[in-house]
Amino acid sequence: MVEFGFTSLLPSLLAIILALKSKNVYISLFFATVLAYFILNDFAFASSLMGVVELFVSLLSEAWVLKTLAFALLAGSIIALIEASGGIEGFVEFMQKRVALVKDERSALLLSYFLGVLIFVESSITALVSGAVGRSFAPRYKIAQAKLALVCDSTSASISSIIAINGWGALLLGLIASQVEQGVVEANPIELLIEGILFNFYSFSALVVTMLFILYDFRLGAMKHATYKEPTVIRHNLKKASLWFMVLPILVMVASVFVYLYITGDGDILSGSGSSAIFYTMATTLALMLPFYTLSGNMSFGKFARSARDGFVAFVPITTILLLAFAIGEATHKLEAGVYLASLITDSIDPIFIAALIFLISSVISFATGTSWGTFSIMMPIAIPLAISTDASVALAIGAVISGGVFGDHCSPISDTTIISSMAADCEIIEHVQTQLPYALLSGGIALLLFIVVALLL
């Protein structure tokens, strides 16, 4: 039995309850982290507080953390520059007048949806781009920010876990390959990953449910009360320029992710570093935007610098929340909360229900820790041997781990995907969690049923 048992779940539960009650994510995440260290240090006051300080120092010493935080800040600069250039307004005009693709709320949300599906290279970039475009249509058609946040969130992680030619694929392939190398399963890791992705029922269900939500505007739960809210900062007399001032930076971002995954993977995209790739991508995009915007006469160097600075500063709060999310994630890892939840799986379960159980456990771990990637890392070494020992489908078990990781991540208020999608859509985090939850549960229910049905057919 894990040392801390059920107690290991208390910090995550505190973070979720405080976030829902206080509406303050900063306080919720911080006090949950403090509670975790009090538990780790047997409630010794001095050593617990020292542990919290050392945690943040160690996080800010980690290269991947610094790159991820820098990515968020640079993303703020890029989004601000694209908006200041008039590229988004030019794109909006093109879609409304030149090709007449956007005429109402439905078509505007569909555009954000398809952008989210097409930009599959990194979930955060997906959410940021689809959110930035959707926000420009929101005032015209009075689109509730909660609706846009649902579209951003449901497409970003879902499509990134399906078309896994990105950091997601690199992590999953590495976890599967380690099981192959250890002799746990005899198979080609890439083929096993592809088969597992085909059973990623939650991500497929979430994409379908979101599409139906856009087409038929069926409102569940808190979404029934979601309305358009005027942004805190209202922009007047927006500049309008060629749509290429938006499109080209996005194309550079998409292409650069592949390039840097290839470079950091020493020629193998699926072995590349996701955190490094997205950081270098944003730095490259920002560097190329400078001559493009200034030499074309779109803006002066001074305006470029001011816009980049303003965007950078605007994303400081979201970056702070990300750091706090990393902190609670690290704390729950030390408490072995995920391992405790996974230990609840027993070998006495009928093989037909193995995939469904793996999906449920992965969902709870992801929800409690706020990380799909952490869930993959915990559950993949458990799910594959479990499937083999019970004569269940290994590929179906892999699909259940991926599905559960994405599902819990979508539901959790401490997830970085949830946080970034909320920010991209200019929606309050707690409102986004409350309005998205019924749709995530619907998609999750469909996925759970499919895992049982498919296990019966295999």
pLDDT of 346 above 60: no
pLDDT of 12 above 70: yes
Closest C-alpha among 447, 449, 450, 366 to residue 405: 366
**Domain map of the chain by residue range?**
63-317
Q: Report percent pLDDT > 70 for the chain.
A: 87
Residue pair 160/123 in contact by the 8 Å Cβ criterion: yes
Q: Which residues of 397-418 are buried (b: 16+ CB within 10 A; e: fewer)?
A: bbbbbbbbbbbbbbbbbbbbbb
**What pLDDT was estimated at residue 449?**
96
C-alpha to C-alpha distances, 240 to 87, 251, 392, nearest whole angstrom: 7, 20, 57
Cα–Cα dist 172/377, whole Å: 8
pLDDT of 266 above 90: no
Q: For residue 33, give the amino acid letter.
A: T
What does the pLDDT look like over 118-142, one tens digit per residue? 877 667 777 877 887 888 788 888 9
**What pLDDT was estimated at residue 168?**
72
pLDDT of 70 above 80: yes
Q: For residue 312, give the amino acid letter.
A: F
pLDDT of 73 above 50: yes
Q: Is pLDDT larger for residue 336 or for residue 366?
A: 366
pTM score of the predicted model: 0.71
pLDDT band at 348 (very low <50, low <70, confident <90, very high): low
**What pLDDT was estimated at residue 291?**
94
pLDDT of 237 above 50: no
What is the distance in angstroms between the CA of the first residue and the CA of the last residue of the chain? 33
DSSP readout, 302-321?
HHHHHHHHHHHHHTHHHHHH
Cα–Cα dist 146/138, whole Å: 11
For range 225-250, the mean pLDDT? 74
Q: Is pLDDT larger for residue 282 or for residue 348?
A: 282
Q: What angle do CA 70, 401, 116 make, to 5 degrees?
A: 50
For range 263-287, the mean pLDDT? 81
What does the pLDDT look like over 316-340, one tens digit per residue? 876 787 688 778 767 877 887 656 7
pLDDT band at 270 (very low <50, low <70, confident <90, very high): low
pLDDT of 456 above 50: yes
Most confident of 18-22, 70-74, 450-454: 450-454
Q: What is the DSSP letter of 296?
A: T
Residue pair 52/34 in contact by the 8 Å Cβ criterion: yes
**What pLDDT was estimated at residue 236?**
44
Closest C-alpha among 203, 189, 208, 173 to residue 404: 203
Q: Is pLDDT larger for residue 294 or for residue 179?
A: 294
Cα–Cα dist 165/288, whole Å: 24
Most confident of 235-239, 257-261, 399-403, 454-458: 399-403
For range 156-170, the mean pLDDT? 77
